[in-house]
Amino acid sequence: MPGLALGDVIPNIEADSTQGPIKLHDYIDESWTIIFSHPGDFTPVCTTELGMIAAYAPEFKKRGVKLLGLSTDSVEDHLRWIKDIEAYTPDAPVQYPILADPHRKITGELNMLDPDEKGPNGKPLASRALHIIGPDKRLKLSFLYPGTTGRNFDEVLRVLDSLQLASKQKIATPVNWQPGEPVLISPSLSDKEAKQQFPQGWKTINLPSGEPYLRLVNLKT
C-alpha cells in the first residue's frame, strides 16, 4: 500500500463518528487499536462483518484492543444501518464508533480506498481494509480485501495474539500457529541470550543445512 507502510505512525485523522468527533491519536491513546473500513452501509457482506465484530467485542476487550469502523457514508446512515446490524446479529450491540467520511478524505489518507469499487454516484468506495495499530500508534499489520470477500475475524484475533506476544518477547509464530502452540525463537537471539529468556529450554530442529535456526519453544503460561 503506497504511502502507509508497516511501522509508519498512523495519520492523526479527524472525523465525525456515530459517537461524536474523533481524533485518531487521542482515540488510540496508548491502546492497541483496530481500524477497519467497509465499502458501504446497507450492503450484505458489511452487515454480516460489522455484526460479527460486535459479537467478538469481549475478545477484543480481553486483549485491550479498541475498535473503530469507517466508511464513506454519513453518520445518519451509519446510525440507521446499526439497527439492521443489531437485528442480523442479535445480542451483540454495536458499541464501537463508526467514522463517517462522505468526502473520502480520511479513507484516502489511511490507504483504505478501493479504486475499482464505485458507489451509485461514481465515486470510489472504501475497500475492506483493516489496520492493527500498536500502542505506539504505528502500523503493525494490514489486511486489504475487496468488497466481495468478507474477512475472518478468528484470523484477526489470531494475528493479534501473535503481534502482542512478539511485542513482549523475542519470538515469532510459525505457519498456521494457534495460541498455546509452540512458537519460534527469534533468529536475532543467540543461544546464550535465548537461555536467559527461555530457561525452560527449547527444541532445535535438525535440518539438512545443519543450521540451527529453527528453535521451537513452549511458552510458560
Binding mask of the shown chain, residues 11 to 40, with x at each position contacting ligand BEZ by CB under 6 A: ----------------------------xx
Report the site for ligand BEZ in 100-129 (rule: CB under 6 A). 117
Q: Could you tell me the smallest distance in angstroms from the CB atom of residue 162 to ligand BEZ?
A: 28
**Which C-beta is closer to ligand BEZ: that of 39 or that of 134?**
39
Q: Which residue of 24, 35, 46, 130 would you call a contact of ligand BEZ, by CB under 6 A?
A: 46
**Which C-beta is closer to ligand BEZ: that of 44 or that of 115?**
44
- Give the 3-state secondary structure of residue 15: strand
Q: Could you tell me the smallest distance in angstroms from the CB atom of residue 186 to ligand BEZ?
A: 39
Place of cell 458501504: 40
| Number of residues in the chain | 221
By the 10 Å C-beta count (0-12 exposed, 13-18 middle, 19+ buried), 88 is classed as middle
Q: Which residue of 2, 7, 20, 44 would you call a contact of ligand BEZ, by CB under 6 A?
A: 44
| Residue 69 binding ligand BEZ, by CB under 6 A | no
Within 8 A by CB and 6+ apart from 192, the residues are none
Place of cell 459479537: 55
State which residue has the least CB distance to ligand BEZ.
Answer: 147
Q: In 3D, which of 192, 185, 193 has the Cα closest to residue 218?
A: 185
| Residue 51 binding ligand BEZ, by CB under 6 A | no
Q: Could you tell me the smallest distance in angstroms from the CB atom of residue 78 to ligand BEZ?
A: 14
Backbone angles phi, psi at 169, to 5 degrees: -135, 160
Q: Which residue of 97, 147, 171, 217 would you call a contact of ligand BEZ, by CB under 6 A?
A: 147
Task: Find the helix packing angle between 44-55 and 153-168, rounded to 10°.
Answer: 50
Q: In 3D, which of 61, 69, 56 has the Cα closest to residue 126?
A: 69
Residues that bind ligand BEZ (CB under 6 A): 39-40, 43-46, 117, 147-148
